[in-house]
Amino acid sequence: MKVIVDNKIPYIQEAIEKIADEVIYAPGKAFTPELVKDADALIVRTRTCCNRQLLEGSHVRFIATATIGFDHIDVEYCRQAGICWTNAPGCNSASVAQYVQSSLLLLQKLKGMELSKLTLGVIGVGNVGSKVVKVAQALGMRVLQNDLPRAEQEGSAAYHSLRTLAEECDILTFHVPLHREGKFKTFHLADEAFFQSLKKRPVLINTSRGEVVKTEALLEALEKGVVTEAIIDVWENEPDINPTLLQRAFLATPHIAGYSADGKANATRMSLDALCRFFHVDAKYHIEPPAPPVTHLRASSQAEAFLQMYDPRRDSNALKQHPELFEKLRGDYPLRREALAFQVEIE
């Protein structure tokens, strides 16, 4: 078995080399038809576009993307070509929820927003959004949920229309997949018409896909005060991001909301498990983040403890100072752990 692996996928080398006969590591954007033509499988991230142009005429039979999103995979072409693929749903959901939690706490700390008196609108209530709902409720927030596919399947009792969220919410956070067409289209879901429907001058958070929010429309909304603050982790045209939005955003990070070490390890594990199932390989491997299982910290409050665990200002300041390093800041991301890796003593 020959496998081509994105060289920024963490904790994979020792494990994959127990599974495959030949492994080649390459940057995500360096996957070419020549590189993959005689490979049996690819393990990729969002930077590798798996389509006809890359795959036609190759021996590739299986693709694993170590990400929740899979809009970089041409699903229809893979179906026609008989190429199986898999993603890693939910792998980094706790990490994104941690990012949103810390962002909310910073809004409270720095902008004086009393969270317990605010309403949060969660747009997209899948693996990530459902965890964000729990985080917000633990902070005492009122939460309104919007998820059209789930409302259609489960009934609308637990869900609200996008218009209701636009009218009632103080903070809006997006956790939808990117669908460019179709019944549940999310491409430019937040466009001029969406911003014109807002009633409460909310904060907007986007950790889903950059193309879900129309950049020009958001900038206009910020300029007019229709949106008071923006927290942006995902961008249109990454890594060539809009410099005005970068500097205007309250927090601006390089697509790393889901980049906790725990989330990365989950994604790598899920990709390798799927690879083994597809090729009927019985391989034993162990993947864990390379850090102590428990880190002790002291804080004056639970909110401060959470910010000690992860403060997104570090990532935001780095990107605002050096936007040209977007890919490097993302690819060489420092170790970050989730709450289960900490033991907290409140002073």
The residues annotated with a catalytic role in the active site are 209, 238, 255
**Among candidate residues 2, 8, 74, 89, the one with its CA nearest the CA of residue 37:** 2
The count of residues in the chain is 347
Tally of CB atoms within 10 A around 47: 20
Instruction: Please give the Cα distance from 165 to 236 (Å, whole number).
Output: 24
Could you give phi then psi for residue 81, rounded to 5 degrees?
A: -85, -5
- What is the Cα 48 distance to its own chain's centre? 16
**Among candidate residues 154, 191, 157, 189, the one with its CA nearest the CA of residue 175:** 189
